[in-house]
Structure 1
């Protein structure tokens, strides 16, 4: 059974190596003892590019956190490898009418603290997500939920305000997790603790070093997981991760296209690639001058050479993207022929002049110092925008400060990466509807809101495509973000690892993984 993802996706070699060495003796001994003996516990060691930003699935969207808590928590449903919705904590469900869903829960499922998971936990979890005081990043996913009823210990009913074509796919999000109310009340939130029903139990988090998970022996699928322990080591510097995977100190790590090419002739490794559902972007605070003028944002789009960004930042292994990544197929529009993607500097200068900025202006681009692709993108944009008189400074901030900056819209221009998700509603409504949970840009357009609201309740697929095509075109014209490129993803995997297949919707599925 394949675990669900998420959505969307955000240094010092000697320090990382030292931390790894100091904490890894026990793991190495376990591996040495397990050679040729499948009965000995198997430990998968993963080098991560970033420290978790917290462990509360209802509050923390950072991928550095999702990769951890998605292994610890379960939701009602999940995607399989073909992106078909299947049961998770819900063994099945029924839909008496277009706005009612009844989920029949698995019986005997327990949280990692031994408490039984019941329909009351489901009701509490989703009401927590929807509560204003939680400030959940996925609250808008469930804005169409009118009420939740407990029909029995193992049966729960969701009453929607109207038909909702996105409801089931939204439930597959890793943040739509069922949590234990008693744990929340004991700890006030779940940022430092993690008690779920998922395949792995949270053991410890050593800041700036590692996170350790161990197998949940009481997982409802008794055949999974196959690993006994997973150790995530924080290695912010890519050269540290590259060294660790080469020497066998770790079994798996993500790498950039440039670094992955250095492993082509490594006999003990395999590099797996896949087209991601992510895209890189430039986000604008549309409430501040001069970015509150659409002509200025359009001028910046015209001055942006996206093909150059794909070639330089991503080594050519990226495709130009709109707000819906091309890997989503027919939901995505072909943006290459759009006027604002034409890299027309004369037109850009004309728009700036019309907006009252004929001589250009000064601006600060904020980016995460820990992601080379974001830093490189900022530097390229600085050069490209200078051609139309826009003088940009670059401010690099650490990951925690970057997350706060994104949440609080405290940067005028922010470089980042988003995940399109598995439904166009995520890519459009979630980030750009006036009430969207991740609309941190202060963007608001009544026509756009009406379109995505209509798309959400339209169940005919072809009609939905027409609606979301129009919404994407409108978004490109308004340009609250500049959508850049959708990169390939690369995962370096030791040949001692079996059963690992990354998917666009879940690049870190380890349920079936074993060590040989």
Structure 2
């Protein structure tokens, strides 16, 4: 229930209903006022935020600048998410409703970064110790916490004193249903009102239904296969490059997403995010090239390893396809499936060999920093544990320059360098979908995948 532990969509899909941020993004990824009704960019390193007055937390207390300062400093202190905020030098409470944020250098991604769930504003006076906060999280969002059965349902209820007006839907039960088919069956039987991430074949079967409607939308989420470069043989670049040649992204998309995804073109930058280039590498599916590189690396007969994934249908389907593609070049990968929370925790600690993951981004810095910067090792996103001083410096320079053209040149060069190093292989840009009962209206798919329930209503 704590959005500041680690960057996890599974967490954010719940917490984004309970916590607002200073600045928000709408469904078209436009910046809109949140808990800050306006802001002034004073200079290259200074932004002043003017808070809404009368905003209530779920415990009835009024939000002030002290809560904002406390929340963002708590975020900056947490190694699971703080890589996005380390450039913040100071947060000052000018008065109860004015906050000044200064960065150590010019930072062109500050506003987008403050829209992330990790920058949620929480109540300073609430018990924010890890154990207690999970039992009683206190935010200022449209829904407040009721209960959570560990591994089971999360129950939220509408916050009638929400600054944006009381939500129309008065009670939400988040239920984890790992099998996509069972989510569809839940829609068809009426047990489920709204379901995320349906199977593509299930979407097709629902076409023309009188009781269920569906929607699809492009996302900014990239699926990839990564390796732990701290372990042999993945410390060998030729082995990593062999894996890039061994994987067939189009077959992966066809088999896992029934063709409903976009080729990632070997970059973690989705096409809709500034800085994307489609020609960052010369990789292609080439079994013989993969075998040749493995032989040059000292593994002419391949090797055995483990391929980690979480217990979701996309993950399991991905593991089956990737396992078979690796087998074609002599890499025998035993699939290790884990519960979602344990999977994120253990891969964050570097216990894995190979792993499957997805990453959602809203700006180039948040993606490249999470995947390839030393600051992001572990739970923050860099589960490959690969970084170089050169790439660290380029990422930092791109995020601090006020020359947009130069930043885009740096992002392009970073993509080429990391593609050659191949600590991970981007495969597909996911398409989002949802299904809902025909009387559910007002819901929209958020490109960042967390999705807002507020604004949804029953007709």
**Which TM-score band applies after superposition, normalised by the shorter structure?**
over 0.9
Among 286, 291, 297, the residue aligned to 1:355: 297
**C-alpha displacement of 1:479:** 0.9
Residue matched to 1:107: 53
**Equivalences for 1:425-440 in 2 at 5 Å?**
425-436=365-376, 437-440=380-383
Aligned residues: 454
Give distance in 2, aligned partners of 1:286 and 1:301.
Answer: 14
Residue matched to 2:188: 246
Structure 2 spans left out of the alignment, 5+ residues: none
Residue matched to 1:21: none
Tell me if 1:144 matches 2:84: no
**C-alpha displacement of 1:214:** 1.3
Q: How big is each residue's C-alpha offset from its partner over 1:321-341, in whole Å with a ceiling of 9 and x where there is no partner?
A: 144343425522215x8322x
| More divergent stretch after superposition (109-118 vs 398-407) | 398-407
The change in CA–CA distance for 1:60 and 1:184 in structure 2 (over 3 A counts) is: farther
CA contact (8 A) 2:269 2:364 kept: no
The change in CA–CA distance for 1:352 and 1:138 in structure 2 (over 3 A counts) is: same
Helix, strand or coil for the counterpart of 2:119?
A: coil
Q: Provide the TM-score with structure 1 as the length reference.
A: 0.84
Among 100, 123, 126, the residue aligned to 2:72: 126
Residue matched to 1:91: 37
The change in CA–CA distance for 1:81 and 1:62 in structure 2 (over 3 A counts) is: closer
Q: Which runs of 4+ in 1 moved over 4 A?
A: 185-189
Give distance in 2, aligned partners of 1:271 and 1:216.
Answer: 28
Q: How big is each residue's C-alpha offset from its partner over 1:446-491, in whole Å with a ceiling of 9 and x where there is no partner?
A: 2211111111012333322211111111111111111111121220
Helix, strand or coil for the counterpart of 1:277?
A: strand
Residue matched to 1:16: none
| More divergent stretch after superposition (447-456 vs 505-514) | 505-514
The change in CA–CA distance for 1:187 and 1:354 in structure 2 (over 3 A counts) is: closer
**Equivalences for 1:421-500 in 2 at 5 Å?**
421-436=361-376, 437-500=380-443
Tell me if 1:258 matches 2:201: yes
Give distance in 2, aligned partners of 1:492 and 1:375.
Answer: 22
The change in CA–CA distance for 1:252 and 1:185 in structure 2 (over 3 A counts) is: closer
CA contact (8 A) 1:56 1:189 kept: no
Give distance in 1, aligned partners of 2:286 and 2:38.
Answer: 53
CA contact (8 A) 1:325 1:486 kept: no
CA contact (8 A) 1:256 1:489 kept: no
**C-alpha displacement of 1:507:** 5.6
**C-alpha displacement of 1:226:** 2.3
CA contact (8 A) 1:324 1:333 kept: no
CA contact (8 A) 1:501 1:507 kept: no
The change in CA–CA distance for 1:187 and 1:463 in structure 2 (over 3 A counts) is: closer
**C-alpha displacement of 1:388:** 1.9
Give distance in 2, aligned partners of 1:186 and 1:405.
Answer: 22
CA contact (8 A) 2:27 2:445 kept: no
Give distance in 2, aligned partners of 1:514 and 1:448.
Answer: 47
Give distance in 2, aligned partners of 1:123 and 1:507.
Answer: 24
Give distance in 2, aligned partners of 1:367 and 1:187.
Answer: 26
Among 307, 311, 314, the residue aligned to 1:365: 307
**C-alpha displacement of 1:348:** 1.5
Give distance in 1, aligned partners of 2:219 and 2:128.
Answer: 37
